[in-house]
Structure 1
Amino acid sequence: MTRKQRRLVLIGGSVGVLGIALALILSALGGSIVFFNSPSDVLVRHIAPGTRIRIGGLVKTGSVERGGDLKIRFEVTDGKSDIPVRFQGIVPDLFREGQGVVAEGKLGPGNVLDADTVLAKHDERYMPKEVVDALKKSGRWQEGETASAGGAVK
């Protein structure tokens, strides 16, 4: 083997090893990545039951039902569609009807989200960029407000 051929074999082997390492990293991350969805997105995309998702929108007025053992049921709306959410645990202090919320969990039969995480916006001016975009799409966004790149509403 000439010097040039050895160099090409070394470079080719290095690229192959890097490719395998990248494939392993991406396959490991694939199971833990959860993308944001609005309630309308969930219904349009026909997401299969058992899929882990994150939805965001507003807590629908009149939909909050509290039960025993810290169980709570509510609906997340983007103005067009509603997704029922079941959660067992302590919800954030700022959680209430008409406020922004992000819930993460597994989608069950009948498009009911069995949430294991519920997040409420931390003050009256903050809302995740994805929630702002979904509300704008549904027409429920008040045009006097604008969102900065970080998601803060001015």
Structure 2
Amino acid sequence: MTRKQRRLILIGSALAVLGLACGLVLYALSGSITLFNSPTDIIQKSIAPGTRMRLGGLVETGSLQRGENMNVRFSVTDGANTIVVTYRGVLPDLFREGQGVVTEGVLQPDRGFVADNVLARHDETYMPKEVADALRQQGHWKPGDPPPAARPQGAQR
């Protein structure tokens, strides 16, 4: 076997091992690559109590209860199912009923959720003025769609 053949075999073997390792890593992560689970996901997957995860959805209207020592209790819903969340701490400024929220914490045996971090999500219909203008110029902006709030010329970002 010549030196060139040995080098090609070595490079080919290294690429095969690297490809196999990447495939195994991607397969192992495929079940856990989610930004958050909705209440329906948690119920359907039968996630075990004590599991640390992210729960996301909308804060149910009328469910927000503030207690002593910054204790807060509210429900997160996805329209089909609801999970009660308890949290102790300062809520983000964008947090309010009817808005999107992602909470990080632990699922309890009673299917409640104890959060140690609450992240408010902004409205998913938001679009920067520059993007809306570019879509309008390219003809992708639908005339029936409401335009985003216009920013005055020269306004700071």
TM range (shorter): 0.5 to 0.7
Compare CA radii of gyration and give the structure with the larger one. 2
Q: Secondary structure at the residue paired with 1:80? A: coil
1:118-137 equivalences under 5 Å are 118-122=118-122, 125-126=125-126
Q: Is the 8 A contact 1:35 1:53 kept in 2?
A: no
**Distance in 2 separating the partners of 1:145 and 1:89:** 39
**1:5-55: CA deviation from partner (whole Å, max 9, x where unpaired):** 41233214422663587479769x79x955422211211111122323222
State the match for 1:108 in structure 2. 108
**Distance in 2 separating the partners of 1:53 and 1:89:** 18
TM-score, length-scaled by structure 2 = 0.62
**1:110-146: CA deviation from partner (whole Å, max 9, x where unpaired):** 22222222122335954xxxxxxxxxxxxxxxxx989
Q: Secondary structure at the residue paired with 2:69? A: coil
Gaps of 5+ in 1: 127-143, 147-154
Q: Residue 120 of structure 1 aligns to which amino acid in structure 2?
A: A
**Distance in 2 separating the partners of 1:38 and 1:21:** 31
TM-score, length-scaled by structure 1 = 0.63
**Distance in 2 separating the partners of 1:19 and 1:52:** 31
Identity of aligned residues (%): 59
Number of positions where the alignment pairs a residue of Structure 1 with one of Structure 2: 128
**1:33-88: CA deviation from partner (whole Å, max 9, x where unpaired):** 55422211211111122323222222112222222232211110112110111212
Q: Residue 57 of structure 2 aligns to which amino acid in structure 1?
A: G
Distance 1:104 1:46, change over 3 A: same
Distance 1:122 1:114, change over 3 A: same
71-80 vs 102-111, which moves further: 102-111
Q: Secondary structure at the residue paired with 1:79? A: coil
**Distance in 2 separating the partners of 1:80 and 1:70:** 29
Q: Secondary structure at the residue paired with 2:49? A: coil
- The CA deviation at 1:92 is 1.1
**Distance in 1 separating the partners of 2:75 and 2:94:** 16
Alignment of 1:90 onto 2:84:
no
State the match for 2:117 in structure 1. 117
Q: Residue 91 of structure 1 aligns to which amino acid in structure 2?
A: L
State the match for 1:3 in structure 2. 3
Alignment of 1:80 onto 2:80:
yes
